[in-house]
Structure 1
Amino acid sequence: MVRFLTTLFFFLLMNVELPSNTSDIMTMTLFQFLVFTGVVAFVLSASRKYYLIRETKTWHDALAYCRASHTDLAIIKSSDDMVQLQNEAQRQRFSLEAWIGLYNDINSWRWSFDNEPLGFEDWDLTLQQPNNRDGHEECVATFQYGSWYDAPCDNVMPFVCFDGKFD
């Protein structure tokens, strides 16, 4: 999505009439600089906050709780998001073994917030995750060290919600 928006900004910025006064030219140049250096994308991606909930729930109950109290279960679409979540867990002295908003819809892994297919991945490959042990591990949690694993959705554990938007 960020790539699409950046391409769109580039197209729009390169296909507009040039402003007639120096102030407008400087504003447009500054905006182009911010878009191309990634500062605008950084500001957009920083518009969310993670909430680590110590209460234990099933994945579906955690999803309902997050949607009622925040935006949704945590979405982790980049390594920066994962680092942000790990830093928040460390700050709160939270073990971080918790549900996140990733689930298997039979055909693919998807995020609960926007039903978008999985892009960024942080599976624990040393444990051969996801492994769908016993054929019913359709929800995802994080290990204490941050990697992901699939688990039965009816397991109870802490969970992570988020507020905000993702680009």
Structure 2
Amino acid sequence: MGIYANTNAFHIDEQNGDKSEPEDLKPEHWPRRTDTTRRNLSLKITFALLGICILVSILSLVLAVILVVQMGEMKRSDADLRMDLSQWKNNVTGNVEKATSSLTEVQAEIALLGELTGNLEKAIAQLSKLQTEIPRQRESVYSCPEEWTKFKLRCYNFSSSLANWGEAQRSCASADAHLVVINNAEEQGFLIKTINVRRWIGLSDSASEGDWRWVDGTDYNSSVKFWYEGEPNNSNNAEHCGEMFAEGRWNDEPCGNKQKWICEKPACSSIRSSCKMCNEPASQC
């Protein structure tokens, strides 16, 4: 009875709204797990931040070391670059100085060459003048006997009498001369201006028909020739001596015909004083 009475009383208390609980069942007396979790989380965050700080510090230190090393290398590279630049500048300056010196030397040589060229031109002009004067001066010391005409360094006599070719050659030989031998066109021109009639010249093929020869041995084949067209023709097989017409052309003529002739011999040098104006034969000088 008593037990039930207590139970009823409990229920009555519930019904009466008495909601009092034991002290140890109140929430404020429960274990505070949230605060411990928070503390653990805070510690983890703190350690994580500390680790990050340490890592950042290490990275910063590594970066600082790298930067210092690179700066040192850059300084060395800059020093090397400056040294190379200075050396290059010195080399360029030296090369410029050498080039300037060489240019100066070349200019001096060019000036000297110009001076030498001028002197050479003067020398050539003087030599040319001498080449013109020497033959004149040389000719001036040569002379010909009386009644002989000088041309270059030769003397010519134009006979006034008539003779056959053999007699004319012997007459020339007596004056230490020979019938004229024509060596070039200039001499041919001189003779044309002088003669006015046909005359014997020192050319014949008497020894052998067709084998024309000059009396002084000059090679006929290589010498100049001024034959009339169709001459020599050995007309009637009797023409073996050469003659020159007044207009200058040559013709073969019978050697026995009588006509005037031309003698030729070297001019006499005035140095040969033993010859009186070359009137004496050279064999007697």
Q: Which TM-score tier does this pair reach, normalised by the shorter chain?
A: 0.5 to 0.7
1:57 pairs with 2:163 = yes
Question: Residue 110 of structure 1 aligns with which residue?
Answer: 213
Scaled by the length of structure 1, the TM-score of the pair is 0.66
1:151 pairs with 2:253 = yes
Unaligned runs of 5+ in 1: 1-25, 90-94
Displacement of 1:116 in angstroms is 3.1
Question: Residue 123 of structure 1 aligns with which residue?
Answer: 227
Secondary structure, in 3 states, of the residue corresponding to 1:60?
helix
**Conserved in 2, the CA contact under 8 Å of 1:122 and 1:147?**
yes
Aligned residues, how many?
Answer: 129
Secondary structure, in 3 states, of the residue corresponding to 2:162?
strand
Could you tell me the percent identity over the aligned residues? 25
Which of 179, 190, 202 is equivalent to 1:101?
A: 202
What letter matches 1:154 in structure 2?
Answer: G
More helix, by proportion: 2
**Conserved in 2, the CA contact under 8 Å of 1:86 and 1:96?**
no
Secondary structure, in 3 states, of the residue corresponding to 1:159?
strand
CA offsets 1:122-154 (integer angstroms, 9 cap, x no match): 0011xx211100112110001121100001111
**Conserved in 1, the CA contact under 8 Å of 2:241 and 2:252?**
yes
- For the pair shown, which has the larger CA radius of gyration, 1 or 2? 2
**Conserved in 1, the CA contact under 8 Å of 2:241 and 2:253?**
yes
What letter matches 1:123 in structure 2?
Answer: W
How many angstroms apart in 2 are the aligned matches of 1:96 and 1:48? 21
How many angstroms apart in 2 are the aligned matches of 1:58 and 1:123? 20
Secondary structure, in 3 states, of the residue corresponding to 1:55?
coil
1:134 pairs with 2:236 = yes
Displacement of 1:114 in angstroms is 2.5
What letter matches 2:260 in structure 1?
Answer: P
Unaligned runs of 5+ in 2: 1-122, 140-150, 268-285
Secondary structure, in 3 states, of the residue corresponding to 1:121?
coil
How many angstroms apart in 2 are the aligned matches of 1:161 and 1:96? 15
**Conserved in 2, the CA contact under 8 Å of 1:50 and 1:85?**
no
What letter matches 1:157 in structure 2?
Answer: Q
**Conserved in 2, the CA contact under 8 Å of 1:96 and 1:146?**
no
CA offsets 1:28-48 (integer angstroms, 9 cap, x no match): x939x84xx9x86xx788210
CA offsets 1:37-80 (integer angstroms, 9 cap, x no match): 9x86xx78821022110211010000000011241101111111
Once superposed, what is the RMSD of the aligned Cα atoms? 3.0
**Conserved in 1, the CA contact under 8 Å of 2:192 and 2:246?**
no
Question: Residue 73 of structure 1 aligns with which residue?
Answer: 179
More strand, by proportion: 1
How many angstroms apart in 2 are the aligned matches of 1:79 and 1:115? 15
How many angstroms apart in 2 are the aligned matches of 1:55 and 1:75? 20
Scaled by the length of structure 2, the TM-score of the pair is 0.40
Secondary structure, in 3 states, of the residue corresponding to 1:64?
helix
Displacement of 1:88 in angstroms is 2.4
